[in-house]
Chain A
Amino acid sequence: AQTVTQSQPEMSVQEAETVTLSCTYDTSESDYYLFWYKQPPSRQMILVIRQEAYKQQNATENRFSVNFQKAAKSFSLKISDSQLGDAAMYFCAYRLTLTGKLIFGQGTTLQVKP
């Protein structure tokens, strides 16, 4: 069965600095999607970035980028030039191929210090 693990319950970063959130997963599938979701205090789930497993190029969305290591089953999120608005809980998620269901990690709470 697929599993997703986020080993950092909490992280903190200074405003304008860079932070990396870790995520590892386990799967026997060869083609799949991975996602990072942000959940601010408003509790809305916001998609930050997605990665298709068959693409070797790491996804990038403005200040957000991923380091996707397929062989290591690692999918980390890098936030550059951190802003106060980046403070939130971040969830890594794996999409099951057949059903489209998402398997979520436990979440990492990111604090941004001014």
Chain B
Amino acid sequence: DADVTQTPRNRITKTGKRIMLECSQTKGHDRMYWYRQDPGLGLRLIYYSFDVKDINKGEISDGYSVSRQAQAKFSLSLESAIPNQTALYFCATSDSRQLSYEQYFGPGTRLTVT
């Protein structure tokens, strides 16, 4: 079984709709991250969480919100989706006890906003 899972894997939605992307992990890591990938821009950080009560904005948080329901679950919401939020979204986890803070990525969610 995958250590970091994301649901859904693909989603098409319409402008103005609310959508939630979910991430779960079985690695026991304390830190979780949401990134979006756009062609030519690499991955950019949306939000990150050090633990359930510690959530921080990344470089492109406008239009997004998150919820850390438990140590193993971190959800990303688009309150009112717009076409320029069409992208590939990744969840990642890391363990603050590891010196390298190596991040482990989920399989990604392809989101299309029409």
Q: Which residues of A pack against B, CB within 8 Å?
A: 4, 6, 9, 33, 35, 42-45, 47, 50, 52, 91, 95, 99-102, 104-107
Contacts and interface: CB of A to CB of B under 8 A. Distances in A.
B74 interface: no
A88 B88 CA distance: 16
Given A43-B107, A44-B108, A45-B105, A50 B42 contact: no
- Name A's interface SS: loop
Nearest to A97: B101
Given A95-B100, A106-B40, A100 B31 contact: yes
Given A95-B100, A102-B103, A107 B42 contact: yes
B25 interface: no
A44 to B, nearest CB: 6
Interface residues of B, number: 25
Interface stretch (B13-21, B43-51, B76-84): B43-51
B32 to A, nearest CB: 11
Contacts of A43: 88, 107-108, 110
B41 interface: yes
Contact of B100 (A6, A9, A45, A50): A50
The 8 closest A-B pairs by CB, nearest first: A100-B101, A104-B42, A45-B105, A104-B43, A106-B42, A43-B108, A33-B100, A100-B94
A61 B32 CA distance: 26
Contact of A102 (B40, B43, B56, B107): B43
Interface string B55-90: 010100000000000000000000000000000101
